[in-house]
Amino acid sequence: MTSLPASTPRKLGLVIDLDICVGCHACAVNCKEWNTGGYGAPLADEDAYGADPSGTWLNRIHTYEVQPAQGPAQLVHFPKSCLHCEDAPCVTVCPTGASYKRAEDGIVLVNEDHCMGCGLCAWACPYGARELDPVAGVMKKCTLCADRIYNRNLPEEDRIPACVRACPAGARHFGDLGDPASEVSNLVAERGGYDLMPEQGTKPVNKYLPPRARDAHETGPADLAELAEAETTGFLGWLDKALERIG
Amino acid sequence: MAEMAEPDLELSPHVSDEVRQTTCYMCACRCGINVHLRDDPDGTKKVRYIEGNRDHPVNRGVLCAKGSAGIMQHYSPARLRKPLKRVGPRGSGEFQEIDWEEALSIATEWLDPIRRDNPSKLAFFTGRDQSQSLTSWWAQQFGTPNYAAHGGFCSVNMAAAGIYTMGGAFWEFGTPDWERTKLFMIFGVAEDHDSNPIKIGIGQLKGRGGKIIAVNPVRTGYNAVADEWVGITPGTDGLFVMALIHELLRTGHVDLDYLCRWTNAGWLIDQTQGPNNGLALRDAQDRPLIWDRVTGQAQPFDKPGLKPALKGRFDTPAGTGVPVFELLAQRYLGEEFNPDAVAGTCGVDASSIRRIAAQLADVAFNQAIEIAQPWTDFRGERHERFIGRPVSFHAMRGISAHSNGFQTCRAIHVLQILLGAVECPGGFRFKPPYPKRAKFHPLPHSRSMPDSPLNGPHLGFPFSPDDLALDENGQPIRIDKAFSWDAPMSTHGMMHMVISNAHAGDPYPIDVLFMYMANMAWNSSMNTASVIGMLTDTDETGEYKIPKIIYSDSYSSEMVAYADLVLPDATYLERHDCISLLDRPVCEPDAAADAIRWPVVEPATQGAGRDVRGFQSVLIELGARLQLPTFVDEAGEPLYRDYADYIVNHQRRPGIGPLMGFRGDGTQVGRGDPNPDQLQRYIENGGFFVAHVPDEARFMKPFNAAYQDWAVQMGFYNEPQPFVFQLYVEPLRRFQLAAEGHGERQPPEHLRDGIAQAFDPLPVWWKPFEQAAVDEEAYPLHAITQRPAAMYHSWGTQNAWLRQIHGMNPLYVHGSVMEAHGLKDGDWAWVTSHHGQIKVPVARMDALNPHTVWTWNAIGKREGAWALDPKAPEAQQGFLLNHLIHELLPPKGDGLRWSNSDPITGQAAWYDLRVKIEKAESGAEVSEPRLGRQKSPVEQGPDRVTYGEGWE
């Protein structure tokens, strides 16, 4: 068992906007691209050109079909990676102390030197956000790009997670969710950002912004009769009047 | 509790030794990328990381899944290494590696006699080529009329309809005004083309509270995040749009001032019977006439101060005419376009059509915006502001790939124009050098002579039957029969007809088929198995019916096995390219922009035995060996060392070259002498160049005098080319007149009625041809494809990372159909069209038009291709719908076979497909048909990839 910091001064994490995530996988692939050459062992791909390719990913996009009570079926794209929980069960379950939560910023990391690949943390994580690398035999997970966000070798504007920098729709936001005045905290407040599976008691730092209502027609005119001029009777009558008006 | 100190974490690890900026080529989007390189201990440069270039006008820093997987594409095991000469039978995949000297000698030996004797015996067609300015120029100098790229089976309907209507189409020609638009409506758009800009735009628009309406049978991607989804029946979008037009006209919600000033709404159309019936009345200087309500006289449309009549019948010295607008209103006010009348066909409630029409009008007119920027129009009239109708549209292949696609695209543009929502703030805006009116584009050229260049550019925009590529007997001059009566406005050519026509020797046999980057033996052909048969078919003497095939590709695609000579191309990180204003540039509404690719790594260092060359450099060398004009000097010596040299030094017109930036002494833009430092300056500038449009010139470009002057200064043209939008397209009417019996050049009898119907100068709708030709009850479902956002064409599934996302493609079937056929997820089904049958895995999806099935395009692979294990899911479970699609329609009993394409442009009608489905009760869980295994010219990829190993 490994202990968690009682609290962290900063709670770095992601806010993911499900209203505009188009499910394009840009974040997931850019994450893999950055991290396979970055922190720790590469993210291996087994049977890469074979019958059953499977690799290690720190972020995956799931797509769910939803049938609302009224209206047509909808598709929701749902990117999922480590949520950097405040009460991270993956940390407390770790027998070697390899899994830990950084006291300074709350990022949950795996110290690969101490990881023996037992898989307990993956079992403990209710979100399925950890993957055991088949080659290195160590547990891999989202590092929140700890090797980017403080990296003095990168221009300041690039010191953000790779997924956030890549996301074409701007659906991913990075910041300090422990600071109620931060941009990400404001987004969460304005848009009703929520915790994934709060009943698990893990207190995830990452938040999701819910999709706005689709196929809701309560705003805007229902038909052109509402917009048409009262005296209009037929198109050609309107045309003469309208032409007079524009001179 | 294990109380351990936190490990000492290196928070600033070394990232890369160097960053080189170039242009992505993982799809056709052309984003700017920063390629981070690291030096191996032996000095070899290795790609550490690819990210978006924040300064680039296309992607502004972001990067999609494809772009992020570029490392795996660049190091793909499917890369070809050396030129290949076929040594076994065609299709066997038996090759011998040869050196470049031998390869180029063979190509020259094959091509040189043809050029001296009959250049038409070469058919040169390119696929997803971004160097058409060079490839078309080369073909022109060779002298063959048989050149085109892949637009004919991609989106020519979109391009042609847009150019004829308003001088430009969607995507590369223009874009929604993302900063200002409030309502964005998309038709038939998947996530592939213009991929990052649309995603950026959608995020921006939704962030501002703007609304998206998506019209698409399938609710994925952009359609999934749209506020409203219209799950339309495929092929009925035109009718749906005409019903919107009906509603807007009925209630007077059109922008009359805009129509009077900036369109041909007021042009008088000749009502006299005879050869000019339906054409614009013109004055002695050939200027179209309007009826001026102030003077009560006919006046040329471009005079200042006119108030054109929009209805009435007017006698003028040139004849009796009725304004275009009245003809248009009469057409669409017809009851057949009442929402109640179209609802059933379109699968859209009449109340939804009315609501959408009302929303369009509400945003366009009640939420109009203004930009207080004075400007002067081409008539010399001064305006104090730009008025914005913040409604924007985008459409793509779901509209284009139907046999009624051209007129459907036209209908969308007419809707935009009626709302006054083109080239205004908040609407759809063109990207320089567009708009360019149709008249300013070339006409088609096809006069071929031995040992001579062609008489002009191959592809163009015909204005009348006189412009067709027909010989003195009225027969097609081109091997693909483009610009013939089969497809008079086939402005992108008809690549999908080349192999079948060449095989049939109709209109004549060819000697060499030369293709680049086009997987015609697989996903780029309709009717794949038959096309493979044609490529391998022999005559009675045992010779191949298509005698010689040269093919260039970077990868071991299915098509490679069918080539006699393979020219291995470089990867996109190893090559020079220019994304040129002469071709398909990367501009934005407020800026002209162009870009380069350059070898950020050298091919020879990027893999064992790697001896590949960028195709464009090879083409230039072939041009010199063949002594083609403009590729050699008077002494016969090569003019260009390679493509890089050509990019810098080639001049299409004096002072105008492939790249606009850093010309002359390095400060000249647009026009200027070649500058030997130009490429270096582009590299230092991030791989691109941007020239901003002056403030006064930013909107209303075709009518804006300041824009026209800027365009001349930039070298887009030599004098101003203002024009007005064409609600009514006269060139279409000229073909219709021919079909009515007027003029010398007459269509063949069997096409006469079809041309009279299709070439309507105002948009019309007809039922998609295949649907009309088959028993709709026997084939009750529409079947369509789309590309996923994370994969582009066949390139993607060889990619070790992307194939983990899309490694196989089920057929998505609506729940009601699944239930009716006793199907559940993971079952296999037979899918049958009038032409063929395939066996596929199925998956349920309810966010789908219930009469439509669909799948991801080009995931399925042939066993043995692309360096994949023959047991790969792409080859075992993946499949192509192509096997179900024929390039001809089913026989109608008239003894003729009719083309499965748009009768105007020849666009392949992929999405007209009708099928039936039944459960496959038994048998192996593999897709059918099985076309057998190809022998691969490259080894299968490694079992394990641990990219980045060894880097801290």
Q: What is the pLDDT of residues B707-760, one digit of tens each?
A: 999 999 999 999 999 999 999 999 999 999 999 999 999 999 999 999 999 999
Report the distance separating Cα A156 and Cα B491, nearest Å: 48
Is residue A240 included in any domain, yes or no?
Answer: no
Chain B residues with CB-CB distance to A28 below 8 A: 65, 805
User: Are A153 and B944 within 8 A, CB to CB?
Assistant: no
Overall number of domains in chain A: 1
Cβ of B227 and A225 within 8 Å?
Answer: no
- Average pLDDT value over all residues in chain B: 96
Q: Is residue A218 part of a domain?
A: no
Contact B224 A76 (CB under 8 A): yes
**Residue at A196 is within a domain:** yes
Is B60's Cβ below 8 Å from some Cβ in A? no
Q: Which residues of B touch A108 (CB under 8 A)?
A: none
From B547's Cα to the closest Cα of chain A, the distance in A is 34
Share of chain A above pLDDT 70, in %: 96
Residue B685 scores a pLDDT above 50 = yes
Residue A222 lies in a domain: no
Tell me: the pLDDT tens digits for A135-194? 999 999 999 999 999 999 999 999 999 999 999 999 999 999 999 999 999 999 999 999
The CATH number corresponding to B174-430 among 3.40.228.10, 3.30.70.141, 3.40.50.360, 1.20.1510.10 equals 3.40.228.10
Tell me which residue range forms the domain holding A153.
12-209
Whether residue A1 has pLDDT greater than 70: no
* d(CA A206, nearest CA chain B) in Å: 20
Nearest chain A alpha carbon to B68: A30
Q: What is the CATH number of the domain that holds A95?
A: 3.30.70.20
User: What pLDDT digit, counting tens, does each position of B615-661 carry?
Assistant: 999 999 999 999 999 999 999 999 999 999 999 999 999 999 999 99
Nearest in space to B165 (alpha carbons), one of B721, B727, B703, B701: B727
Cβ–Cβ under 8 Å, residues B896 and B520? no
pLDDT at A232 over 80: no
Q: Do B354 and A169 touch (CB under 8 A)?
A: no
Q: Is residue B689 within 8 Å of residue B680, measured between CB atoms?
A: no
Residue B884 host element (H or E):
none
Interface contact A151-B202, CB threshold 8 A? no
For the record, the structure tokens of B448 come out as 């071929």
- Give the span between the Cα atoms of B720 and B437, in whole angstroms: 11
pLDDT at B466 over 50: yes
Given a cut of 50, is residue B1 above it in pLDDT? Answer: no
pLDDT at position A231? 54
Q: In A, which residues are within 8 Å of B253 by CB distance?
A: 224, 227-228
Kindly report the nearest CA distance between residue B78 and chain A, in angstroms.
Answer: 10
What values do phi and psi take at B428, rounded to 5?
Answer: -90, 125
CATH of domain B773-919: 2.40.40.20
Contact status of B777 with chain A (Cβ, < 8 Å): no
- Smallest CA–CA distance, residue B590 to chain A, in Å, is 21
Residue B614 to residues B37, B576, B677, Cα–Cα distance (Å): 21, 7, 21
Domains B174-430 and B773-919 share a fold: no
For residue B454, the distance in angstroms to the closest alpha carbon of chain A comes to 44
Of A29, A49, A214, the CB nearest to B77: A49
Residue B4 has pLDDT above 70, yes or no: no
| Residues 229 through 288 of chain B touching chain A, CB cutoff 8 Å | 229, 231, 247-253, 256-257, 260
Q: CB–CB of A2 and B1 under 8 A?
A: yes
Identity of the residue in A54, A226, A247 whose CB atom sits nearest the CB atom of B358:
A226
Is there a contact between B460 and B491 (Cβ–Cβ < 8 Å)?
yes
**Interface contact B13-A151, CB threshold 8 A:** yes
- d(CA B800, CA A177) in angstroms, rounded, equals 35
Residues from chain A that touch B185, judged by Cβ atoms under 8 A, are none
Closest CA–CA distance from residue B939 to any residue of chain A (Å): 11
Name which of B58, B75, B199 to mutate to probe chain A: the one with the most chain A Cβ atoms within 10 A of its Cβ.
B199
Q: ipTM of the assembly?
A: 0.97
Could you tell me which chain B residue has the CA closest to the CA of A34? B49
Q: Which residues contact A15 (CB under 8 A, 6 or more apart)?
A: A172, A173, A174, A175, A177, A184, A187, A188, A193, A206, A207, A208, A209
Total CB pairs under 8 A between chain A and B: 317
Q: How does residue B812 score in pLDDT terms, banded at 50, 70 and 90? A: very high
Residue pLDDT, tens place only, B429-453: 999 999 999 999 999 999 999 999 9
The pLDDT of B888-911, averaged and rounded, is: 91
Tell me the two tokens of residue B543. Answer: 């010779």
> pLDDT for B201-238, tens place per residue?
999 999 999 999 999 999 999 999 999 999 999 999 99
CA–CA separation, B439 vs B467, rounded Å? 12
Output the pLDDT for position B782: 98
pLDDT digits (tens, 9 = 90+) for B477-517: 999 999 999 999 999 999 999 999 999 999 999 999 999 99
From B752's Cα to the closest Cα of chain A, the distance in A is: 35
Q: Flag if B257 and A246 touch (Cβ within 8 Å).
A: yes
Boundaries of every domain in chain B: 174-430, 773-919
pLDDT attached to residue B3: 53
Please check whether residue A174 lies inside any domain of the structure: yes
CB contacts, 8 Å: A41 with chain B: 946, 949
Please, which pLDDT band fits residue B846 given cuts at 50, 70 and 90?
very high
SS3 content of chain A, % helix, strand, coil (to 5): 25, 20, 55
Chain B residues whose CB is inside 8 A of the A159 CB are: none
- Residue B301 backbone dihedrals phi, psi, to 5 degrees: -60, -25
Q: State whether B68 and A103 contact (CB < 8 Å).
A: no
Name the pLDDT band for A233 (thresholds 50, 70, 90). low
Whether residue B380 lies within 8 A of chain A, CB to CB, comes out as no
Q: Which structure tokens are listed for B803?
A: 């194939």
- What sign does the CA torsion over B285, B290, B293, B298 have? positive
Of A3, A42, A50, nearest to B949 by CB-CB distance is A42
Asked if the Cβ–Cβ distance from B872 to A51 is below 8 Å, we say yes
Residue A169 domain flag:
yes
Given a cut of 90, whether residue B777 has pLDDT beyond it is yes
Confidence band of B952 (pLDDT split at 50, 70, 90): low
Residue A229 is predicted with a pLDDT of 66
pLDDT tens digits, one per residue of B229-276: 999 999 999 999 999 999 999 989 999 999 999 999 999 999 999 999
Q: Which residues of B touch A43 (CB under 8 A)?
A: 948
Question: Among B945, B796, B947, which residue's Cα sits nearest to residue B866?
Answer: B796
Q: B12, A36: Cβ pair inside 8 Å? A: no
Residue A181 C-alpha, separation from nearest chain B C-alpha, in angstroms? 20
Q: Is residue A19 assigned to a domain? A: yes
- Predicted confidence at residue B111, as pLDDT, reads 98
Cα–Cα distance for residue pair B787/B192, rounded to 1 Å? 6
Contact A44 B48 (CB under 8 A): no
